[in-house]
Structure 1
């Protein structure tokens, strides 16, 4: 077989391979179908929680997510903290600026590969050329004056540039959804930090009272031991109990300070400007909690939207890798003036121009182009799996918070009953003490029992408030057109055209 025949056959095989690859430039980028569970958790969703502290939370299935959900806690102080944090957080500001930079990079890429490039250039040179040796050692000195406009445009015949712009637009949308997620996470962190600080402050105050009662009990036992009314073991037990309780107080105060410092940083303040803890009683548990159906949840959570945008970007990148196997056509043109002197360069005789076109068809790159396409396909398939995992994790998040709210209500109801019972017993014992019917030790022991029950009630109150905030956060935003993603979407539309 002759060399031309071998060459022609190789070209034919390459063309056939390219046409086979061109049958499908890439997947459409639509997210895979996900199951829609009848209910999020292993157990069916109850319509409401048990009443706790006089509040029954109702789960409104199918309701839209609440954008500014922290306002449902009916606390002006909490609202002010969240507004301050969203306004002053350096982390959120940095994320916003990164998003702006990504949008500008998208605009730059679209302008670069979808429109012609035109450049103006000028050149003034003085050159020395050797003469012809046979003619003698003459040396030629001359000047060159050139000014011209140069234009270049690559025709996007097979859509490589359009697909690349669509991929970058989807990447920008990923950052837009990540900014939304960061904003929502910041608000949730501020709310939970404020609730935790309020809970810890109430626990510290209650523990301080318990320490005071234990010290009083130890002093009374000391006096009774000195009078011979009790054995030395009773004194040691009283002192040991007071010391153990006092030892737990510094750790509680440290936890409170740490939480307040973290809240200050979330607000964009220095730790020494940490806000005082809110009154736990001023935070009201929302009675109605929206629970989006799974199909709405897929469009409401920014993490799922970000995974969807990543999937679309990966699909477009498969198309880019496929389009790079096909020919590219570039047009070059230039026009201007030139000459060996200024008068000639600016005259009609100095007009210069050029026009040309170049066509490039990849033939052999050592399998690199096919490997790049296979890599893009693998990345797309990984994005599909990541999308599925993100959806499953979102379902789990909702299921866990729903179960936590139901169990929080049950625990808080039991703790509330125990605290109320202990308080009535303490009130009755105090009244009897004032009448002289019981000793002071009985009144003190009754108050200790009440304060311990109150500690449990405070802990479960904070847990219920925090888990309610977590459920609002898990619901995401109501599905609406996201203005933050508009520039990226516009860029994608421009690229598609």
Structure 2
């Protein structure tokens, strides 16, 4: 029972030992968004944390199962008694002591508790299902962070290249202004304007290079390594034809909504269990003991078997308060379900609108760049003929730079919005994207522990080895 990861798209199961080797090896440098998401999935501490929380939730099912099984306890009791007597009138006294030892074995088995234990087990199972969906939601967040980090590096690279090209063009304009000043075509003011724009462009380039280093640091933090050669924007995932379809997808598949639905069911079972706890319980009690007295060599044996039917008549109001608290927690879970549902709808509508706006902005910015390029080329040519000033050329260059920057931002926004819409629908998962990763399989650990194996059993010993292997990852 050391298998916890499966390869996407297949039924291949990798052992925990192989997984440790795979995760410990140095991954290949990312050159596309898929590699970035794979790196984030394989190295995310947040995913590891929530997988451990899921295993803890699995164990709660085992704990609930254990309440339906007999409890065996052994006890060893060793004691020495002292006594002293005084003879009246004589004043003589005498003392004696005895040492007794006893060993006992007790079995207690809950036979009936009005269904409380079964309800507790069912509630724990619903909590496991809710925690699994929460893990999927965390997976979505990790993968989306990888997309953001990838696009962030790529867009900053493009901005640096744009700023560097802008600096080169302005330096050419500065040289041209100096040449024209030498022959008296322009004034010293034109030269100063060109020098000012060059200095500003150089400052902008330095800032852009700093932003690129920051983006790379974010990438390393998210993906687990520095980026390699990145040159291609992410392919846009398919999207639904309308916002109504996107909403329907989200309400059907979003893990946050599914998690809260299971949480509501768990709170319902808890509330019912609190009511059932007011009923009677029946226990089977078996006890055997052996006693020896060291000083007298006396021995004794005893055994007893009995059924105990009990019912709490009054507990200071604790049972009633527990019942009311359970109902209140159920109401809170239902209210949170409504909040989550509405929040998901809002996220879908917002993401859909953002994607449409980004697409329209990209179309407009492409046209803006085309027009700004034509204007710049024309003004620059006219300046060589003396019909345009240096300021006209510099302003046209700035307009072109602004248009190109806006286009880069629109392209980045389009990529981010497309994956954000996928996340809002609950579809940004390793399984849905068919990432080539070793996916964590929550069923395997649950199936291993749901029967509550003890340490002394083979399954319990296998689980102990698995936990040690997981600690090494």
TM-score, normalisation: structure 2: 0.74
Given the superposition, is the C-alpha separation of residues 137 and 298 from structure 1 closer, same or farther in structure 2, using an over 3 Å criterion? farther
1:276 aligned partner: 228
Counterparts of 1:222 and 1:374, CA distance in 2: 86
Pairing of 1:171-250 with structure 2 (within 5 A): 171-222=127-178, 224-225=180-181, 228-250=184-206
Are the aligned partners of 1:142 and 1:340 in contact in 2 as well (CA < 8 Å)? yes
TM-superposed CA distance for 1:343, in Å, is 11
Could you give the per-residue CA deviations for residues 185-225 of structure 1, whole angstroms, max 9, x where no partner exists?
11111012101211111012101211232233344435545
- Structure 1 residue 89 corresponds to structure 2 residue 40: no
The 8 Å contact of residues 78 and 194 in structure 1, kept in 2 or not, is answered as: yes
Q: Could you tell me which residue of structure 2 aligns to residue 285 of structure 1? A: 236
Contact 1:169 1:491 in 2 (8 A): no
Which sits farther off after the overlay, 438-447 or 410-419?
438-447
Check the 8 A contact 2:61/2:450 in 1, yes or no.
no
CA 1:235/1:296 → structure 2, altered by over 3 Å: closer, same or farther? closer
CA distance in 2, matches of 1:490, 1:373: 33
Cα distance in 1 between the residues matched to 2:406 and 2:450 = 55
C-alpha displacement of 1:138: 4.0
Whole-angstrom CA distance in 2 between matches of 1:130 and 1:264:
77
Establish whether residue 114 from structure 1 lines up as the match of residue 68 from structure 2. Answer: yes
2:118 maps to 1:162: yes
Matched, 1:314 2:270: no
| Number of residue pairs matched by the alignment | 409
- Which residue of 255, 258, 264 maps to 2:220? 264
The separation in 2 between residues aligned to 1:133 and 1:105, in whole angstroms, is 61
Q: Deviations over 1:31-74 (max 9, x none)?
A: xxxxxxxxxxxxxxxxxxxxxxxxxxxxxxxxxxxx99xxxxxx
- Cα deviation for residue 245 of structure 1 reads 3.5
CA 1:474–1:485: 2 relative to 1, 3 Å: farther
Structure 2 residues not aligned, in runs of 5+: 1-7, 10-29, 433-439, 453-473
Provide the C-alpha distance between the structure 1 equivalents of 2:281 and 2:248, rounded to a whole number of angstroms.
43
Structure 1 contact 158–326 (Cα < 8 Å) conserved:
yes
Question: For 1:389-425, what per-residue CA distance to the aligned partner results, in whole angstroms no more than 9, with x for missing partners?
Answer: 1011111111111111111111111111222344466
**3-state DSSP class of the match of 2:32?**
helix
CA distance in 2, matches of 1:290, 1:170: 34
2:120–2:273 Cα contact (<8 Å) kept: yes
The answer as to whether partners of 2:64 and 2:117 remain within 8 angstroms in 1 is: no
For the residues of structure 1 that align with 2:451 and 2:260, how far apart are their CA atoms?
20
Answer yes or no: is the 8 Å Cα contact 2:65–2:451 preserved in 1: no
Aligned to 1:409: 359
Deviation at 1:86, TM superposition (A): 1.0
Name the SS of the counterpart of 1:130 in structure 2.
Answer: strand
Structure 1, unaligned runs of 5 or more: 1-66, 69-74
Task: Find 1:484's aligned residue among 428, 438, 442.
Answer: 442
Contact 1:169 1:489 in 2 (8 A): no
What TM-score does the superposition give when structure 1 sets the normalisation length? Answer: 0.71
3-state secondary structure, aligned to 2:98: strand
- Residue 114 of structure 1 aligns to a residue whose secondary structure is coil
Go from structure 1 to structure 2 and tell me whether the alpha carbon gap of 1:448 and 1:438 turns closer, same or farther (over 3 Å shift): farther
Match of 1:369 in 2: 319
Cα distance in structure 1, aligned partners of 2:323 and 2:444: 29
1:424-454, Cα deviation, whole Å (9 max, x unpaired): 6667889x79x99999979887666544432
Task: Give the drift of 1:375.
Answer: 2.0
Please give the root-mean-square deviation of Cα atoms over the aligned residues, in Å.
Answer: 3.8
- Residue 266 to residue 165, structure 1, CA distance change in 2 (3 Å): same
Distance 1:453 1:144, change over 3 A: same
Segment of structure 1 superposing worse, 209-218 or 356-365: 356-365
Task: Please say if residues 249 and 425 of structure 2, whose CA atoms lie closer than 8 Å, have aligned partners that are also in contact.
Answer: no
Q: Please say if residues 285 and 465 of structure 1, whose CA atoms lie closer than 8 Å, have aligned partners that are also in contact.
A: yes
Q: CA 1:152–1:493 in structure 2 vs 1: closer, same or farther (change >3 Å)?
A: closer
